[in-house]
Amino acid sequence: MKTFLPKYIYTLFIAGFLLVSNGCDKSLDLPQYQAFTPATLDENGGNWKPFVLKSATEFTVAEPMPTNSAEYSQEIAELKSLQASLTDDQKEKINYWNTGGVFRWNEIARELAARYNLPPVAGPDGKYPVPDANNPFQEPKFPFANPPYAARAFAYLGVAQYDGLVAAWKYKYMFNRMRPSAFDASIKALVPASDLPTYPSEDAVVATVSLEILKFMFPTEIEYLTQKAEEHKISRLWAGAQVKSDIAAGEELGKLVAQKILAAAKSDGMKDANNQTLVSGMQESAISRGLTVAWKSQEQPYRLPLLPNYGAVKTWNFDEETKIRLRPAAPPAIGSPEFNKDMDELRKYAKGLTREQHRIANFWADGPGTYTPPGHWSQIATDLIYKNKFNELRAARTMALLGTAVMDAGICCWDVKFYYFYPRPYQMDNSIKTVVGLPNFPSYTSGHSTFSAAAATVLSYVFPGEKDMLEAKALEAAESRIYGTIHYRFDSEVGLRCGKNIGSYAVLRGQQDGSGL
C-alpha cells in the first residue's frame, strides 16, 4: 500500500518556504490597506442581540470622569506629550491598527491557524503523537489547527468581538464622551474623523477579548499575543484617538466579556472531540445500516482518524435535534450506477487535469501549512468588510455570523462523516492518485463544500451585491475536491446543499438581531 507521508512532508516544505519567502521578500505585491471613515456608525448597535451575553448591560461600565475635570485634562496633556515625539515605527503601528481591530485580529488568527496547521509526523515507534492541551509546549506543540479546530477558533473570536462591542456601543451612546480632538483642537487625530463616542474604547474591548480567546486557542503564543494587544491599545493613544480612561474602561469590559465566552468554550464538548474509543462503534453502526466497505486510514504508519467525535460539539445557531434533521440521506451504495459514474469521473481526472482544473484544485487545497478552508473564507469576509467600510461593530457581527455558521458546518459535516463512515475514492481504487494530499477522515460529505456553502450563504446575506461571486467561489471550492480526486461528486454536491441549509440558520439569527439587515 502506498504511503502518503512523503506528500505531506512535501506539502509542509512548500508551505513553509512560501511563508518564509512572503515574510522576507518586501517586493511582493501584497495588499496595502488604508484607514477609512466607516460608512455608518450604527448608533443603535447597543440594542443588537448578543450571542452569549444576556444583554448589552450584563456587565456594568462605570460612568466616566467629566471632560471638565482635572483628571481628564491630565489625560489630554499626556496625549499631547506622546504625539510630540512619535517615531516612524509608532506611526507605522498607528496606520496598521487604523485598518480596524476586528480586521487585524482576524488576520492574526489566520496567521496562527496556518502556523499550527501541521499534522504531527510519526515517531521512531511508528506512532503519531497527539498535541496535549495540558502540556502545550511539549512536541508536537498544541494545537494541531486542522479545519475543525480553526473553525472553532474563528467562531469564538468573532462572537467575543461582537458581544464585547455590542456592550461597548451601549455604553458609548449612554455616556457620549467626545473624541479628544473635538475637546482640544490642538490634538492632531491620526485616525479618520468619526463622531463615534470614545468611552469605553472599542479598540481596547477588541484587543482584550481577542487576546483572551486566542491565548486559550493558541497557548504557546501568549507572549506574541500580549505584545500585539498592548501595541493595539497604545496605538490609539499615539493616534490621539482615545485617552487612558477610555482604554481602561474598554479593557475592563473586554475581560468580563471574554471570561463569559471562554466559559462557553470550555463546556462545548470539544474536549471529547478526539475520543477514539467511539470509532469502532461508529463503524459498526454504519455497517449495520448497509455500508459494505468502511473507511479506513490510508496513511502508513496508520494514523488515528481526525476528531471522530467533533460532530458532538455544541452548535451555535440550532439545537441537537435540528442537527440530526439536517443530516443528509445515505450516499450511493458502493457498486451502484451512481457510485460507478462518479468513480469513472475521478479516474479521468487522475489521468490528467487541465491547467485551469489544476489551478482550482491547488487554490482551494487549504492543506497543511495554510489557514484551512474556514480561514480562506475568513479572508474573503475581511476583504469585503474593508471594501464596504464597515465600522467595528458591524465588522464583528459579520465575523460572528460567519464564524458560527462555519463552525456549525464543521460539526454537522463531521457528524455525517462518522455516521456513514464512507470510504475515500483512493481506498476503492488506488490508481486514483490525489494532487492535494489525502485527508484522514471519511469521505461523505465534503468538508470544504459544506464550509464553503455555509460561508457563502452568510456572506451573501451580509453583502447581497456579492452573491453571484460568493456562490461561484463556493461552487469552485466544491469542484476543487473533485479535481483533487479526494471526493466523489456526490460528496461535494450534497455538501453544498447541507452547507447552504446550515448557513441559513445563521442568516435567520442575523435577521432577528436588531441590526436592521
**409, pLDDT greater than 70:** yes
**11, pLDDT greater than 90:** no
**24, pLDDT greater than 60:** no
Asked whether residue 489 is assigned to any structural domain, the reply reads yes
DSSP letter (8 states) at residue 271? G
Task: Confirm if 172 and 46 have CB atoms less than 8 A apart.
Answer: yes
**359, pLDDT greater than 70:** yes
Residues 218 and 351 in one domain: no
Confidence of residue 21 (pLDDT cuts 50, 70, 90): very low
Residues 365 and 220 in one domain: no
Q: What is the CATH number of the domain that holds 344?
A: 1.10.606.20
Count of structural domains within the chain: 2
- pLDDT (tens digit, 9 = 90+) per residue, 437-484? 889 999 999 999 999 999 999 999 999 999 999 999 999 999 999 999
Cell triple for 346: 475521478
Task: Confirm if 490 and 444 have CB atoms less than 8 A apart.
Answer: yes
Instruction: Please report the pLDDT score of residue 9 as a whole number.
Output: 32
**368, pLDDT greater than 60:** yes
> Which of 15-19, 49-53, 184-188, 276-280 shows the lowest mean pLDDT across its residues?
15-19
Asked whether residue 485 is assigned to any structural domain, the reply reads yes
Residues 36 and 104 in one domain: yes
**1, pLDDT greater than 80:** no
Task: Confirm if 347 and 422 have CB atoms less than 8 A apart.
Answer: no
Task: Confirm if 171 and 199 have CB atoms less than 8 A apart.
Answer: yes
Residues 179 and 147 in one domain: yes
Residues 313 and 230 in one domain: no
% of the chain at pLDDT higher than 70: 94
Asked whether residue 25 is assigned to any structural domain, the reply reads no
Alpha-carbon dihedral sign for residues 308, 311, 313, 316: positive
Confidence of residue 215 (pLDDT cuts 50, 70, 90): very high
% of the chain at pLDDT higher than 90: 92
Q: Which residue did the predictor score with more confidence, 456 or 7? A: 456
- pLDDT (tens digit, 9 = 90+) per residue, 239-264? 999 999 999 999 999 999 999 999 99
Residue tagged 453583502 (cell numbers)? 463
**223, pLDDT greater than 90:** yes
- pLDDT (tens digit, 9 = 90+) per residue, 139-167? 999 999 999 999 999 999 999 999 999 99
Instruction: Please report the pLDDT score of residue 31 as a whole number.
Output: 67
Residues 291 and 207 in one domain: no
Q: At which of 231, 266, 301 does a domain end?
A: 266
Residues 240 and 355 in one domain: no
Instruction: Please report the pLDDT score of residue 517 as a whole number.
Output: 85
- pLDDT (tens digit, 9 = 90+) per residue, 81-110? 999 999 999 999 999 999 999 999 999 999
What DSSP letter does each residue of 461-482 carry, written as one string? Answer: HHSGGGHHHHHHHHHHHHHHHH
Which of 248, 301, 253, 241 lies closest to 121, judged by CA?
A: 301
Asked whether residue 153 is assigned to any structural domain, the reply reads yes
Residues 480 and 360 in one domain: yes
Asked whether residue 24 is assigned to any structural domain, the reply reads no
Instruction: Please report the pLDDT score of residue 193 as a whole number.
Output: 85
**Cα separation, 129 vs 510, whole angstroms:** 41
Residues 248 and 345 in one domain: no
What separation in angstroms does the CA of 468 have from each of 397, 456, 465?
A: 22, 10, 8
User: Within the chain, what is the greatest distance between any pair of CA atoms?
Assistant: 82
Residues 114 and 177 in one domain: yes
Cell triple for 321: 435535534
Task: Confirm if 414 and 439 have CB atoms less than 8 A apart.
Answer: no
Confidence of residue 20 (pLDDT cuts 50, 70, 90): very low
Instruction: Please report the pLDDT score of residue 7 as a whole number.
Output: 33
Q: At which of 236, 266, 296 does a domain end?
A: 266
Asked whether residue 8 is assigned to any structural domain, the reply reads no
**2, pLDDT greater than 80:** no
* Per-residue burial over 366-397, b = 16 or more CB atoms within 10 Å of its CB, e = otherwise: bbbbbbbbbbbbbebbbebbbebebbbbbbbb
Residues 286 and 198 in one domain: no
What DSSP letter does each residue of 275-341 carry, written as one string? Answer: -GGGHHHHHHHHHHTT-SS------SS----S-TTGGGSPPSSS-HHHHHHHPPPPPPPTTSHHHHH
Q: Where are the alpha helices (DSSP H) in 139-186?
A: 147-175, 180-183
Which of 167, 157, 133 lies closest to 406, judged by CA?
A: 157
Mean pLDDT across 373-391: 98
Q: What is the pTM of this model?
A: 0.94
In three-state secondary structure terms, 348 is helix
Residues 366 and 466 in one domain: yes
Q: At which of 223, 249, 266 does a domain end?
A: 266
Q: Which domain holds residue 438?
A: 275-511
Mean pLDDT across 258-282: 98
Instruction: Please report the pLDDT score of residue 213 as a whole number.
Output: 98
Asked whether residue 21 is assigned to any structural domain, the reply reads no
Asked whether residue 7 is assigned to any structural domain, the reply reads no
**23, pLDDT greater than 60:** no
